[in-house]
Structure 1
């Protein structure tokens, strides 16, 4: 049984996201993104089309690699509801991803299902021992989003 987890207040989580994006922007992209290492996730910049506006929307997300694919948790700071970036990708799955030290590349998003989801969830568990406790805070299952090269 997973130990109960708690997350910081929503305003703290949102402030941390804003600060992270500001560091990336103010550094001209030199800071704020990094590659995953054994036992650690990386940070990437995802740019997708807004589902209502059609305008480019960028976020910085934690990710892991699985061969040529990248995957992340659609966790919304472990709060209720789906993150906006995932809603945008469901409406328009083609996007662009920026990795540390690399040129932007086009990707297509999809949700992991079945055995693939189970395997990827286990990989995230290896990075965060409290993953199941955090996931239990959400009213619905947390999607694992796979970004495939296009």
Structure 2
């Protein structure tokens, strides 16, 4: 996407209206497109890289599939997930699931990859947060809207 188009999308995605509508529309569209393309494509991946995260429900124990934007790590060994919840007040459910059950899987570019999630804290979180803001500046707007610290997770490949 050209620079002007990216800036427009970033500005639009920082609005409160987007935060109200997007959580209901974007995941549903992503799930449908992901299913129709047999895991090869996410609609939102035109803006940001994305995965479909499969977690075990923290309370239910059921498998939960959630399309999410991600920041692939430069070394290719992992992914960063951001629990921004589009700047809404509560932590997204998938973050509770990863805290309770860190072994999960992602669909990445049409492949299922077993992963282990780790909540980032302290200096490590601060370094990753700075990189995320360069990667997608609207995360700063999301953080400014909420009193909670947005959760960041590093996913690394696991044996399965």
Residue 63 of structure 2 is matched in structure 1 by: 56
Query: How far apart in 1 are the matches of 2:152 and 2:22?
Result: 24
Aligned partner of 1:98 among 102, 107, 121:
107
Match for residue 21 of structure 1?
A: 31
Uncovered stretches (5+) of structure 1, i.e. residues with no partner: none
Shift of 1:74: 0.6
Larger mean CA deviation between 23-32 and 45-54 belongs to 23-32
Structure 2: distance between partners of 1:115 and 1:11 = 33
Q: CA RMSD in A?
A: 2.2
On the 8 A contact 2:88/2:142 being kept in 1, the answer is no
Q: Which has the higher helix share?
A: 2
Runs of at least 5 residues in structure 2 that lack an aligned partner in the other structure: 1-13
Structure 2 CA distance for partners of 1:34 and 1:20, relative to 1, 3 Å: closer
The Cα of 1:130 is off from its aligned counterpart by 3.3
Instruction: Provide the C-alpha distance between the structure 1 equivalents of 2:114 and 2:44, rounded to a whole number of angstroms.
Output: 18
Structure 2 length normalisation: TM-score?
A: 0.79
- 2:80, 2:19 → 1: CA distance? 26
